[in-house]
Amino acid sequence: MNALAQNEAAPIESKRELAKAKTRRALLKSALRLYSLEGAQGMSMNKIAKGAGIAQPSFYNHFESLDALQNELSAQLKDHYLSPMRLA
């Protein structure tokens, strides 16, 4: 298979999908920052959205709830810190 055929077979993310993924990452980063500064009690959808540069209602385009965001953040942190241990 030549390079052109490989590129045609590969999935192409739209600009919209890329923007959505970027915003989702920004929300997770904002949540982690808030958590490290204020603890779990200081986290709110409004503060997280503001830190990510979006309006609070837009939060729901990326996460079902604050709990869903916290679960995703916990899973990512767990994977990040435990994956080196799995390689050892």
- Res 1: pLDDT: 44
Hey, is 78 helix, strand or coil? helix
In sequence order, what DSSP letters do the residues of 9-57 get, joined into one string?
HS----HHHHHHHHHHHHHHHHHHHHHHHH-GGG--HHHHHHHHTS-GG
What would be the CATH architecture of the domain defined by 18-87?
Orthogonal Bundle (1.10)
- pTM of the full structure: 0.77
Of 32, 27, 29, 28, nearest to 58 by C-alpha is: 27
- Res 82: pLDDT: 81
Res. 12 pLDDT band, cuts 50 70 90? low
Contact between 27 and 69 under an 8 Å Cβ cutoff? The reply is: yes
Mean of pLDDT values over 55-75: 95
pLDDT in tens, 24-50: 999 999 999 999 999 989 889 999 999
